[in-house]
Each structure stands twice: as structure tokens, then as C-alpha cells.
Structure 1
Amino acid sequence: MRFSDLKKKEVINVNDCRRLGFVGDVDLDMKTGCILAIIVAGPGCICGFLGHDKEYIIPYCNICQVGEDIILVDVKKKEVEEKCKF
């Protein structure tokens, strides 16, 4: 799978069925080449025009399944909010 294919996938939390957004970036371990986390751009400031207020950093171990259109993740609301950048 290419990174460009990964960026087209929407991320959904299986705990509350909430849409978190689309994959914006990945965190890689440069020594091993393994994905450590996916970074999802959160909701936009004003209808998405002025950038994003926060981003969600989701560890690779929290990814349940990668489908053709979506990525299912298992994260608690508190874990996601603690890792947000404002």
C-alpha cells in the first residue's frame, strides 16, 4: 500500500463510531521502517478553510482494521483528547 492510498482513507473510532477525519501523515521509525502511528487531521476551524484546530496521533497498535475506504481504530475518547495539539 502506498502512502497516497492511505491518505484517502477515513478514520473511524469503533468505540463511539465517531469519524475522526482522514489520514494526514504517518510517524515512521527510521531504523526499522515500521509505522509507529497515523496522524489524522481533526475538524477544521471554519468549515475547514482555515486549517485544523487539532490533530489526532493514533498509535499503530490501536488500528483494528484497514479496509478499502476506511481505517477502524480503537481509542478511548480520553486518549484521543490527550494527544490533541491545539
Structure 2
Amino acid sequence: MKISDFQSKDVINIVDGKKLGHITDLELDLRQGRIDSIVVPQFTKMFGLFGNNGTEIVIPWRNIVKIGADVVLVRMDESKALRQEEDDLHARS
């Protein structure tokens, strides 16, 4: 499977059924030769338009439930996703 194949799939959270978006990046463990996580930009709805607010949801590989022909099903608790974003902000500071 190519990275471009991942980018064309919708990422769906099976906990609440929400579409999270599309995969924009992968985090790799080069020592182990495996994918550590997938990265999905977080979009917000402002004035009826979708816009990227600059944050990303980093979904660990262990949270991927199924990779189908059109979608990637993940199990993400919303509070964990929010904490991940806060951790990323603190790490960048």
C-alpha cells in the first residue's frame, strides 16, 4: 500500500461515528520499520465554511481498527484527541 492510498481514504471514529478527515501525514519508527501513527488535520466550521485551525489529530497505529477500501476506522476518545493536541502545543513551545 502506498502513502497516497492512505490519503484518499476518509478517517472515521467508530466511537461517535464522526468523520475526522483525511490522512495528511504518517509518523514512522525508522528503527523498527513501522508506522507509529497517522496524522489528520483538525478542521473547524466558521461562518459556514470549513477551515484548518492549524491543529492536527495524531492517531496512534494501535487505535486503527480497520483499513477498508474507502475508509480507515479508528477508535478515538475525544478527550484523548484533545489532550494530544494540547501536548503537541506544549512540545512546540
Greater helix share, structure number: 2
Greater strand share, structure number: 2
Cα deviation 1:57-82 (Å, max 9, x = unaligned): 00000000000111000011101111
In the other structure, the counterpart of 1:24 is: 24
In the other structure, the counterpart of 1:60 is: 61
Considering only CA atoms, is the larger Rg found in Structure 1 or Structure 2? Answer: 2
How many residues are matched? 85
TM-score normalised over the length of structure 2: 0.81
In the other structure, the counterpart of 1:5 is: 5
CA contact (8 A) 1:45 1:52 kept: no
Q: Structure 1 unaligned segments of length 5 or more: list them.
A: none
Q: Structure 2 unaligned segments of length 5 or more: list them.
A: none
Aligned Cα RMSD in Å? 1.8
Q: Separation in 2 of the partners of 1:45 and 1:4? A: 26
Q: Separation in 1 of the partners of 2:71 and 2:35? A: 17
Deviation at 1:45, TM superposition (A): 7.0
Q: Runs of at least 4 residues of structure 1 off by over 4 A? A: none
Q: State percent identity of aligned pairs.
A: 31
